[in-house]
């Protein structure tokens, strides 16, 4: 079946503008993760959704970042009043369940550039 998809693949915006990044997880996957990857770096955890439970937002770097997941499927990551340091690749992953033994399937990412 189809993998995790993300859109847009690239986004260039001006400092101060808001952006929305979309993630379509694999059908049936209850867990959804957002990560941020800066150039040459590893993955920084941002937020996690599991079923109908309250999301874990502990990784969000500031209150300019928010995310929602509608109907337990599609997720949107919103960054308000973007700053240049927000430039990075934003990766979404989904998995069948929670816990360390479940494989996370990653999308190709959205490359965000804030000018």
Partner 1 sequence: TQLLEQSPQFLSIQEGENLTVYCNSSSVFSSLQWYRQEPGEGPVLLVTVVTGGEVKKLKRLTFQFGDARKDSSLHITAAQPGDTGLYLCAGAATGGFKTIFGAGTRLFVKA
Q: Which two tokens stand for residue 30?
A: 């209850």
The answer to whether residue 25 forms part of the interface with partner 1 (CB under 8 A) is no
Contact 98, 38 (CB under 8 A): no
User: By rule CB under 8 A, what string of x and - marks binding of each residue 75-114 to partner 1?
Assistant: ----------------x-x----xxxx-xxxxxxx-----
Least gap, CB of 63 to partner 1 (angstroms): 20
- Per the listing, tokens 């995790």 go with 4
Contact 47, 60 (CB under 8 A): yes
Binding region for partner 1 (CB under 8 A): 4, 31, 33, 35, 40-45, 48, 50, 56, 58-59, 91, 93, 98-101, 103-109
């Amino acid at each position: 079946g189809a993998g995790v998809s993300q859109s847009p693949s690239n986004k260039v915006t001006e400092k101060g503008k808001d952006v929305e990044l979309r993630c379509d997880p694999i059908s049936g996957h209850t867990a959804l993760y957002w990560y941020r990857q800066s150039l040459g770096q590893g993955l920084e955890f941002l937020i996690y959704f599991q079923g109908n439970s309250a999301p874990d937002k502990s990784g969000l770097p500031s209150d300019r970042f928010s995310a929602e997941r509608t109907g337990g499927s599609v997720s949107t990551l919103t960054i308000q009043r973007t700053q240049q340091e927000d430039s990075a690749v934003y990766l979404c992953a989904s998995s069948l369940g929670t816990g360390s033994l479940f494989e996370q399937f990653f999308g190709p990412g959205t490359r965000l550039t804030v000018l």
